[in-house]
Amino acid sequence: MILNMIYSTFHRHTGFVFSVIATVSFVLSGCTSEEETDNETEPSETQDQNVTPPDDQNVDDEIDNESEDDEPDIPAAYGVSAGHPEAVDAGMEVLENGGNAADAAIAAAYAISVVEPFASGIGGGGVGLIQEQGQEPQAYDYREVVPEEGIPASDIGVPGFVAGMMELHKGHGMADWQDLMDPSIDLAESAEVSETLAQQLQSAQDRLPTEQLEHFYPGGVPLEEGANLEQPELADTLREIRDRGGEAFYEEDIGEALAAEIEGLNMNSLSDYNVGQYDPVTGEFAGYEVIGAPQPLPGTSVIQMLQISEERDILEEERNSTAFIHDIAMSWRLAQQFIEADFGDPDFVDDLDDNINDPERNAVWAEEISSDSLLPMDAEQSYEDADPNTTHITVVDDDGTVVSMTNTLTDFWGAGEYTEGFFLNNQMARFSIGEGEENEPEPGRRSVTWSSPLIVADEEGPVMGIGSPGGERIPIMLTQVVADWAGGTDLDESVEAQRFHLDENELIMEEAPDPDQRDALLDIGYSEIREPPTQLYFGSIQALAIDRETDELLGATDQRREGDWRMETTD
């Protein structure tokens, strides 16, 4: 295909240039002597003696002023945005009691796994980004890995959620671990069935082991909205994790039950599980630094799409104008090429080209887009409509630290297998993504998938955390919202605006275009414009943003699901 030829040629030529630059840099760095290095890092006594300030007091004042200028602004508030009000309440309770953003995100993640057992939970995994004001961001990849004996028929991978929460708390938490678990235990003992949970129980009863799920299907009938849900087995499992930590899940009773009851899992696979800690991917867009989850997650893709779209003057376009829709749709087509050809677990494959998020490089890709025609589609590159899965949590604490976290079982209800009070993932199905060997399964390896938490930062530090459920639509949805917000639209308006997705040459649009726009899009080459197949198709954005001018914390309620957000001022 033409697009493959463009990609291969560009990749080959730039690869040569980057190789030469790397070689020259290595040679030059080797010319630096130990003496020169010492002089750079440790001033000599002579140098110190020659620095004689004319007025000690003036120097002290200058230093104090510089320190004040360097201090990043922090919001006069703290808040939580999550896919369910109970998760918001759990996170806010932690913040109100002196916990930080990491603590609150952990509490919210456990809480939402109880009230939305179809979307995330301790049988699954996820990915989280965290950044403090004035500090470098960090990424935690605690998604599932291929078991020791390979992928079972169920596509269940070794769950990473529990390890991920433990590792995040170890690295950044301040509150007592037990306090973070208590809200989820209380919810497991008693919680109200939401509209979405009732719908998912109704639609999934043919694929779930309802004979094991009397608490969900009393007398074989799914619980209705507003009913009381008690999950005593899950409450006991959560207590074990609260009291004994990750060992209970990976090395003791819970792990032994998993190994005995779930085909493909054994104690070696569980005890060998490790959380991936990496530098996030970053790239410039509209004067901001966009920070995303590293490969094999599509944070790189979102940044690439934003940069291509910026080169196409997306910031000047009205949201959901024909130009806005077409430029973002084609940027997604280009980004998919990299996902298919290059993405893979960085612990098993060569790192993706660091320059993929270089604005100048993506400006070249932007030139391939025509305003009046579609880019050719790779015949092998198409995805079935994935379930509108996953859940997202964003937290900002009173120090301005931002956590952006996406958790999932992969499909709703994961593999549909249930034990110890929770459902198991089917994340290994995502090894079907890709055309080559970059995303091939082997023990301990993580797959390419669609979860894409983001942080947006200015020169002082993070100003927004954002993410969404929605399967394959996540990257293109986030691109639409971030581009709109960066162009000056209020966050709530950017979240509320209608969304679209490109599936092969078809546009799936949340709201049908008017006749003139429909004709314009069909003239460009889109083969069909249709409605989304389900109500949940376009996810639910959970975002919080810091207004640097007012120090306010801003959020948005996405009405597409049951998401909520809340903030409290620190005054």
Segment 96-128, tens digit of pLDDT: 999 999 999 999 999 999 999 999 999 999 999
Q: Give catalytic status of residue 390 as yes or no.
A: yes
* pLDDT, mean of residues 211-231: 97
**pLDDT digit string, tens, across residues 192-210:** 999 999 999 999 999 999 9
Q: Which of 137-146, 303-312, 374-383, 466-475 has the lowest mean pLDDT?
A: 374-383
With beta carbons less than 8 A apart as the criterion, state whether 268 and 148 touch. Answer: yes
What value does the mean pLDDT of the chain take? 87
Query: pLDDT tier at 387 (50, 70, 90 boundaries)?
Result: low
- The pLDDT, as a whole number, for residue 274 is 97
Q: Which of 158-167, 199-208, 348-357, 557-566 has the lowest mean pLDDT?
A: 348-357
* pLDDT, mean of residues 141-159: 97
- Name the β-bridge partners of 291: 282, 455
Half-sphere exposure of 27 (CA within 13 A, CB side): 5
- The pLDDT, as a whole number, for residue 15 is 41
* Active-site entry in 300, 322, 390, 449: 390
**Beta strands 391-396; 77-82: pairing state:** antiparallel
The b-or-e profile of 235-267 (16+ CB within 10 A means b, else e) is bebbbbbbeebbbbbbeeebbeebbeebebbbb
- The pLDDT, as a whole number, for residue 354 is 61
Q: What phi, psi does 510 have (nearest 5°)?
A: -65, -30
Which of 431, 420, 386, 341 minimizes the C-alpha distance to 534?
Answer: 386
Cα separation, 315 vs 69, whole angstroms: 30
Sequence-distant (≥ 6) Cβ neighbours of residue 136 within 8 angstroms: 279
What share of the chain has pLDDT > 90, as a percent? 77
Half-sphere exposure of 39 (CA within 13 A, CB side): 7
* DSSP H stretches of helix in 117-223: 161-172, 177-189, 195-204
With beta carbons less than 8 A apart as the criterion, state whether 151 and 428 touch. Answer: yes
Query: pLDDT tier at 371 (50, 70, 90 boundaries)?
Result: very high
Query: Is residue 166 classed as helix, strand or coil in its secondary structure?
Result: helix
Cα separation, 127 vs 476, whole angstroms: 18
* pLDDT, mean of residues 361-380: 83
Measured CA to CA in angstroms, residue 228 lies from 69, 214, 216, 547 at distances of 53, 13, 10, 40
- The pLDDT, as a whole number, for residue 436 is 75
With tokens 């602004």, the residue in question is: 73
For the CA atoms of 501, 503, 509, 512, what is the dihedral angle to 10 degrees?
150
- The pLDDT, as a whole number, for residue 340 is 86
Q: Which range has highest mean pLDDT (29-38, 58-67, 142-151, 334-343)?
A: 142-151
Cα separation, 163 vs 234, whole angstroms: 17
With beta carbons less than 8 A apart as the criterion, state whether 407 and 109 touch. Answer: yes
Query: pLDDT tier at 17 (50, 70, 90 boundaries)?
Result: very low
DSSP string, 387-437: -S--EEEEEE-TT--EEEEEEE-SSTTTTS-EETTEEPP-GGGGGG--SSS
Half-sphere exposure of 234 (CA within 13 A, CB side): 32
Query: pLDDT tier at 491 (50, 70, 90 boundaries)?
Result: very high
* pLDDT, mean of residues 288-303: 95
* pLDDT, mean of residues 504-533: 96
- Name the β-bridge partners of 282: 291
- The pLDDT, as a whole number, for residue 388 is 61
Cα separation, 130 vs 461, whole angstroms: 11
Q: Is the peptide bond before 441 cis (omega within 30 degrees of 0)?
A: no
